[in-house]
């Protein structure tokens, strides 16, 4: 009996030691696992340890933590979404990209905050892939892309030039005396990138009174600006941008006859407002593309109205844009002129799209109005180094690098969709 009792006691002790050893081993392995995970986090996500959330911002995701996987962007609405925190930042800097123009180089002119670079556009129903310069250049190998229109068209082209420069150095091959028409080539991919300045898209002449330029123009709404239209046969992709130049005293002509004006108070002339002029200008531009017999099957994109963000005045009455973070989507005021111009642009694209079915021309929308309405923080403001207009803020264009870079992410996705559609995929 004593032997059996002693055996049972030894068995209990062995079990206790086993359990104790197991617990120690479990604790050791758990501690080791957590240590490895924490070190991995530090090694591969160093920026997350430095990020301090801004408590004044609402309706934005505050971290770049792992999100549930969403469908790719192939079928979702890329333009409905919100800006989320992303510590990754831009692909380029104002030091790494040597082609950033003087007036868009906000850091050069003293901007200190960098928070406006820590946001990423997130569509509601899918993921928008980060811009891949290699994918862009491979997809558009042997192609020519032109940005046609105002200085914001040029702004987007300059963003794309910087993004692509991260993988291949571009070669400047053409520039006119006024730097309004520029051409760059990426020799390894035989890709050509162009900017064509045309502030109205249609033929225009500045009005001169007593030998002095007035800043107002005569616009011939039924005649496209030949400086860009004559280059159409060499273009595969055209990105159009226009609107802001119409907000001045302009006189409108059709068939050589004065039909009205914008912001004028002259006798016997009807003020038709900028909306009609914008509509007719895009209509004429798209008609020129559809009527072009010796053109390639051009794919045209209209980038919708890019809002300005002047506060406490206009550009010439002391208005500025000093915010350093975006506003939430619920703060965007839909309606009003900005949205009217967007609607006009979208209607003209639809009209051109229907007409282009016969000629093989394609027309698409790059709808940035809502997303950029939130980016009150992305303009140069006072940081644009203009020696001739000191005290004036630029709340129309966009800093480089800056939120305008997302336009080219969206452009690449739209091009990839178009190629898949044509291939029947």
Q: What is the DSSP string of 106-119?
A: TTTTT----GGGSE
Q: In this prediction, what percent of the chain has a pLDDT beyond 70?
A: 82
Closest CA to 300 of 411, 202, 199, 224: 411
Q: Which of 151, 159, 229, 373 is catalytic?
A: 151
DSSP 328: P
Query: Would the pLDDT of 137 be above 70?
Result: yes
Closest CA to 325 of 113, 47, 86, 80: 113
Q: What are phi and psi of 302, to 5 degrees?
A: -105, 120
Query: Would the pLDDT of 297 be above 70?
Result: yes
Q: Where are the beta strands (DSSP E) in 156-279?
A: 171-175, 181-186, 191-197, 202-209, 212-224, 237-241, 250-254, 257-262
Query: Would the pLDDT of 49 be above 80?
Result: no
Q: Which of 150, 367, 377, 394 is catalytic?
A: 394
Q: Which residue has the tokens 């053409």?
A: 174
Mean local confidence (pLDDT), 109-116: 96
| Structure token pair of residue 358 | 């016969």
**What pLDDT score does 315 carry?**
86
Instruction: Calculate helix-pair angle for 405-422, 151-164, nearest 10 degrees.
Output: 80
**151 belongs to the catalytic site:** yes
Task: List all residues 6 or more positions away from 274 whose beta carbon is below 8 Å from its beta carbon.
Answer: 243, 246, 247, 262, 263, 341
Closest CA to 305 of 383, 211, 372, 209: 372
**What pLDDT score does 67 carry?**
44
pLDDT band at 26 (very low <50, low <70, confident <90, very high): very low
**124 belongs to the catalytic site:** no
Q: What are phi and psi of 178, to 5 degrees?
A: -95, 5
Among 7-16, 139-148, 165-174, 323-332, which is the least confidently predicted range?
7-16
For residue 162, count other CB atoms closer than 10 A to its CB: 26
CA angle 421–365–232, rounded 5-degree value: 85
**pLDDT tens track for 302-320:** 999 999 999 999 988 999 9
3-state secondary structure of 283: helix
**What pLDDT score does 358 carry?**
86
**pLDDT tens track for 337-376:** 999 999 999 999 999 999 999 889 999 999 999 999 999 9
Query: Would the pLDDT of 58 be above 80?
Result: no
3-state secondary structure of 200: coil
For residue 42, count other CB atoms closer than 10 A to its CB: 11
**What pLDDT score does 73 carry?**
57
**189 belongs to the catalytic site:** no
Cis preceding linkage at 401, omega within 30 = yes
């Amino acid at each position: 009996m004593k032997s059996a009792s002693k055996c049972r006691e030894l068995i209990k002790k062995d079990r206790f030691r086993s359990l104790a050893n197991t617990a120690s081993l479990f604790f050791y392995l758990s501690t080791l696992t957590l240590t490895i995970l924490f070190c991995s986090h530090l090694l591969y996500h160093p920026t997350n340890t430095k990020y301090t959330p801004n408590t004044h911002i609402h309706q934005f995701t505050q971290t770049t933590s792992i999100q549930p996987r969403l469908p790719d962007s192939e079928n979702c609405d890329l333009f409905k979404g919100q800006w989320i925190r992303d510590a990754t930042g831009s692909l380029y800097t104002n030091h790494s990209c040597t082609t950033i123009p003087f007036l868009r180089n906000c850091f050069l002119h003293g901007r200190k905050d960098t928070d406006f670079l820590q946001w990423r556009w997130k569509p509601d129903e899918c993921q928008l892939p980060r811009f891949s310069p290699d994918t862009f250049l491979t997809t558009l190998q042997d192609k020519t892309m032109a940005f046609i229109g105002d200085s914001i068209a040029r702004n987007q082209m300059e963003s794309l030039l910087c993004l692509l420069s991260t993988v291949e150095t571009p070669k400047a091959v053409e520039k006119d005396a006024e730097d309004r028409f520029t051409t760059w080539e990426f020799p390894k991919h035989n890709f050509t990138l162009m900017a064509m300045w045309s502030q109205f898209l249609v033929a225009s002449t500045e009005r001169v009174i007593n030998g002095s330029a007035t800043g107002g123009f005569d616009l011939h709404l039924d005649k496209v600006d030949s400086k860009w239209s004559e280059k159409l046969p060499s273009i595969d992709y055209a990105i159009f941008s226009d609107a802001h130049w119409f907000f001045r005293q302009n006189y409108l002509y059709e068939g050589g006859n004065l039909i009205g004006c914008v912001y004028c108070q002259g006798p016997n002339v009807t003020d038709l407002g900028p909306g009609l002029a914008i509509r007719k200008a895009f209509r004429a531009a798209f008609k020129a593309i559809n009527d072009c017999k010796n053109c390639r099957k051009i794919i045209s994109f209209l980038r919708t109205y890019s809002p300005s963000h002047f506060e406490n005045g206009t550009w010439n009455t002391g208005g500025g844009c000093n915010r350093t973070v975006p506003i939430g989507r619920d703060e965007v005021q839909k309606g009003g002129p900005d949205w009217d111009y967007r609607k006009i642009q979208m209607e003209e694209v639809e009209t051109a799209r229907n007409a282009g079915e016969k000629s093989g021309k394609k027309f698409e929308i790059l709808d940035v109005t809502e997303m950029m309405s939130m980016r009150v923080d992305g303009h140069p403001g006072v940081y644009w180094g203009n020696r001739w207009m000191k005290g004036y803020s630029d709340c129309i264009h966009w800093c480089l690098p800056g939120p305008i870079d997302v336009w080219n992410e969206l452009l690449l996705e739209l091009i990839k969709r178009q190629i898949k559609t044509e291939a029947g995929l």
